[in-house]
Amino acid sequence: MFPSLPSSSFLFPLCLLLFFFLLNHSPPAAADPLYQICGKTGNYTGNNTYASNLNILLTSLDANTSLSGGFFNATVGQTPNQIYGLALCRGDTNASVCRSCLDTAIQDAPNLCPYYKGAIIWYDYCLLHYSNQRFLSTVDTSNEILMYNINNITDPSRFDKLLDVLLSRIADWAAYNSTEMFATGEMMNSTKPPFPTIYGLAQCTRDLSRSQCRQCLQGMLVPRPTLFEGKQGARVLGGTCNYRYEIYSFYEGKPTLRLQSPLETAPSPAPTPTPARRAPPLITPPEKEGKKTNVTGMVLAIALPLLAAFLLISIICICFWRRRKPVVRLPLRKCLTIVLKLGALSVDGTRPEDIASVESLLLDISTLRVATANFAEENKLGEGGFGAVYKGRLPDGREIAVKRLSASSSQGFGELRNELVLVAKLQHRNLVRLLGVCMEEQEKLLVYEYLPNRSLDTILFGIVSSSTKI
Ligand SMILES: *[C@@H]1O[C@H](CO)[C@@H](O)[C@H](O)[C@H]1NC(C)=O
Ligand SMILES: *[C@@H]1O[C@H](CO)[C@@H](O)[C@H](O)[C@H]1NC(C)=O
Ligand SMILES: *[C@@H]1O[C@H](CO)[C@@H](O)[C@H](O)[C@H]1NC(C)=O
Ligand SMILES: *[C@@H]1O[C@H](CO)[C@@H](O)[C@H](O)[C@H]1NC(C)=O
Ligand SMILES: *[C@@H]1O[C@H](CO)[C@@H](O)[C@H](O)[C@H]1NC(C)=O
Ligand SMILES: *[C@@H]1O[C@H](CO)[C@@H](O)[C@H](O)[C@H]1NC(C)=O
Ligand SMILES: *[C@@H]1O[C@H](CO)[C@@H](O)[C@H](O)[C@H]1NC(C)=O
Ligand SMILES: *[C@@H]1O[C@H](CO)[C@@H](O)[C@H](O)[C@H]1NC(C)=O
């Protein structure tokens, strides 16, 4: 059974993916929401004060936001039924685009999050956020949606360097120089070797102070999610700030900032293996000048220190690389709930993107330890090739199954991440649902819905086994 695992556990998801794709393939309307997070602060019933306050709030946001330059916040009602809200349009939209995006948002909200007291709904051109809890003027780090363009970039390390520069400049500008707390920018393409122009955008909600805005963007930019590694474009949508980049222009009008690749003018810092390649030019000049005298000595005098330096650098690099690897590969700083949705399309409707929603941060390691009585033997449901599975109960009563990947597990972070993306794409009522993932300390934990009737091997052996039926 085991040797056949990879193929069987891979074939099946592929079929399902196709199935999903066919189901969802109807092209979305231009103004479909990118994502929504329904509030966790309670529900209201159909016909009460809260409902009517919400109505007043939404009407006010709709009416006033486009008139007040693309941002408006409001508070409606008295304490038990008080409701806070804000609406933000992307800084490059004009009033009519802004208004029409919010019209849609306000129509969608009751259907997307019915009877929820709060919601955050993201669109390409606007953001709508309301809640019964005061959230204005504070940086929101708990609601983050990660989306990426599934196309790969050819030279990720070069791309990353340029992107770092571009995004940090854009974030600075949005925070400190823009009255709208919005900035766009271009990192011009270079010619040697050819490299695409990178386009970026960053924005904060204007209830934040300038330093809060920078802090909000900084939290999303550093470190950049590893899900984005090697991708041509990506965005992080947060409750109070967001950014996006692509290798095509996706915003209206001229960029706020036009940057020239810093790698173009300065001699590019040598990637690790170049010392060997750099050696010949250093040695050849003497030969060209025709001074045959003492060539061997000269070559030795140059080559030996060079060789020593090369060895030293290699050793340092290898050590560094080894030590840094787990840190760099660690996909998520905390334990996160990942929900991926398949088949969303971005602005121009042609670039498929994967969406990862990084929602509640409830699944930290201590919660999971409590839930499973510190991975007690009596909670063990079984043991598989990759590690043991424990039954647990979250504070909110939900029963979970926690797969604890053994420290010696052959699943590296990269493979794990790919499996997570895969399984998260396959959210389906007949599949074991992945609730979260926790990577902290030395632990790699996968948290599933506990389904008493589900055969254990769906969790134990690989992520999705072929025994699960559609
Ligand atoms: C609110 O209602 C939704 C269904 O409309 C339900 O899934 C959710 O659990 C409810 N939340 C609370 C806090 O009652
Ligand atoms: C809400 O309540 C009002 C009276 O308070 C009533 O006229 C209306 O029909 C109710 N609407 C719904 C949807 O229940
Ligand atoms: C916002 O719009 C509402 C209409 O829904 C209006 O009554 C209100 O005065 C407006 N508020 C501001 C500050 O313009
Ligand atoms: C918008 O939020 C700010 C900061 O919280 C607050 O001072 C202001 O009164 C709010 N505006 C409205 C119309 O509620
Ligand atoms: C607003 O922008 C859209 C596209 O960005 C454009 O089609 C429309 O004509 C603009 N409207 C006004 C009033 O400028
Ligand atoms: C991008 O690269 C990953 C592996 O690095 C691969 O699985 C994926 O299919 C590639 N995507 C495209 C669109 O080529
Ligand atoms: C942008 O803001 C920074 C910090 O406030 C300031 O030092 C800089 O001069 C500003 N640049 C422009 C062009 O206004
Ligand atoms: C670089 O930009 C120029 C226009 O500025 C464009 O013509 C060219 O195709 C771009 N090259 C690449 C590789 O994207």
Q: How far apart are CA 87 and CA 73, in angstroms?
A: 6
Q: What is the DSSP letter of 231?
A: B
**How far is ligand 3, taken at its centre, from the CA of residue 64, in Å?**
6
pLDDT for residue 386: 60
List the chain domain ranges. Answer: 25-131, 144-265, 334-461
pLDDT tens profile 411-430: 555 555 555 555 544 443 33
Question: Using CA positions, which residue lies closest to atom 13 of ligand 3?
Answer: 64
| The ligand 2 atom nearest the CA atom of 47 | 1
| Long-range CB contacts (within 8 A, 24+) of 402-406 | 402/368, 402/371, 402/372, 402/375, 402/445, 402/446, 402/447, 402/448, 403/445, 403/446, 403/447, 403/448, 403/459, 403/460, 404/375, 404/443, 404/444, 404/445, 405/444, 405/445, 405/446
| The ligand 3 atom nearest the CA atom of 67 | 14
**How far is ligand 5, taken at its centre, from the CA of residue 97, in Å?**
7
Question: Using CA positions, which residue lies closest to atom 12 of ligand 6?
Answer: 151
CATH code of 334-461, in short, is 3.30.200.20
pLDDT for residue 344: 30
CATH code of 144-265, in short, is 3.30.430.20
| Ligand having the closest approach to the CA of 198 | 8
**How far is ligand 6, taken at its centre, from the CA of residue 149, in Å?**
11
Q: Do 25-131 and 334-461 fold alike per CATH?
A: no
With cut-offs at 50, 70 and 90, classify the pLDDT of residue 27.
Answer: very low
85 DSSP β-pair partners: 74, 130
Q: How far apart are CA 66 and CA 14, in angstroms?
A: 44
Q: What residues line ligand 2, using a CB cutoff of 6 Å?
A: 46-47
Whether 288 has a binding-site annotation, put simply, is: no
**How far is ligand 8, taken at its centre, from the CA of residue 165, in Å?**
19
Compute the mean pLDDT over every residue in the chain, rounded to the nearest whole number.
71
Query: Is it the case that residue 311 has pLDDT exceeding 50?
Result: yes
Q: How far apart are CA 172 and CA 178, in angstroms?
A: 9
Q: Mutual orientation of helices 413-425 and 295-329 as an angle, nearest 10°?
A: 40
Identify the CA nearest to 355 among candidates 442, 449, 175, 234: 234
Query: Edge-to-edge strands of the sheet including 352-358?
Result: 257-259, 182-187, 198-204, 241-246, 234-238, 144-149, 352-358, 338-345
CB 374 less than 6 A from any atom of ligand 7: no
Question: Using CA positions, which residue lies closest to atom 13 of ligand 4?
Answer: 74
CATH for the 25-131 domain, from 3.30.1300.10, 3.30.430.20, 3.90.660.10, 3.30.70.141: 3.30.430.20
Model confidence, pTM: 0.60
pLDDT for residue 240: 95
What would the mean pLDDT of 7-17 be, rounded to a whole number? 28
For the chain, what is the total number of helices (H) and then of strands (E)?
11, 20
> For strand 387-393 and strand 399-405, is the pairing parallel, antiparallel, or unpaired?
antiparallel
pLDDT tens profile 94-117: 999 999 999 999 999 999 999 999
pLDDT for residue 59: 95
Question: Using CA positions, which residue lies closest to atom 14 of ligand 5?
Answer: 94
Q: Which residues contact 268 (CB under 8 A, 6 or more apart)?
A: none
| The ligand 3 atom nearest the CA atom of 64 | 1
Q: Mutual orientation of helices 95-112 and 49-65 as an angle, nearest 10°?
A: 160
CB 154 less than 6 A from any atom of ligand 6: no
Identify the CA nearest to 422 among candidates 356, 358, 359: 356
Q: In testing the pocket of ligand 3, which one of 54, 61, 64, 73 has its CB within 8 Å of the most ligand atoms? A: 64
CB 7 less than 6 A from any atom of ligand 3: no
| Ligand having the closest approach to the CA of 354 | 6
Question: Using CA positions, which residue lies closest to atom 13 of ligand 5?
Answer: 96
pLDDT for residue 34: 92
Identify the CA nearest to 358 among candidates 337, 376, 341, 374: 337
For 239-251, give the DSSP string. Answer: SSEEEEEESS--S
What would the mean pLDDT of 351-361 be, rounded to a whole number? 42
3-state secondary structure string, 368-407? HHHHCCCCCHHHEEEECCCEEEEEEECCCCCEEEEEEECC
CB 176 less than 6 A from any atom of ligand 7: yes
Helix (H) / strand (E) element for 183: namely: strand 182-187
Q: How far apart are CA 187 and CA 170, in angstroms?
A: 11
Whether residue 369 contacts residue 394, with contact meaning beta carbons closer than 8 Å, is answered with: no
In which residue are the tokens 């309670």 written? 42
Q: Mutual orientation of helices 5-23 and 413-425 as an angle, nearest 10°?
A: 40
pLDDT tens profile 258-288: 998 776 554 433 333 323 333 222 222 323 3
**How far is ligand 8, taken at its centre, from the CA of residue 225, in Å?**
28
Q: How many CB atoms sit inside 10 A of residue 329's CB?
A: 15
pLDDT tens profile 136-173: 999 998 888 999 998 999 889 989 999 999 999 999 99
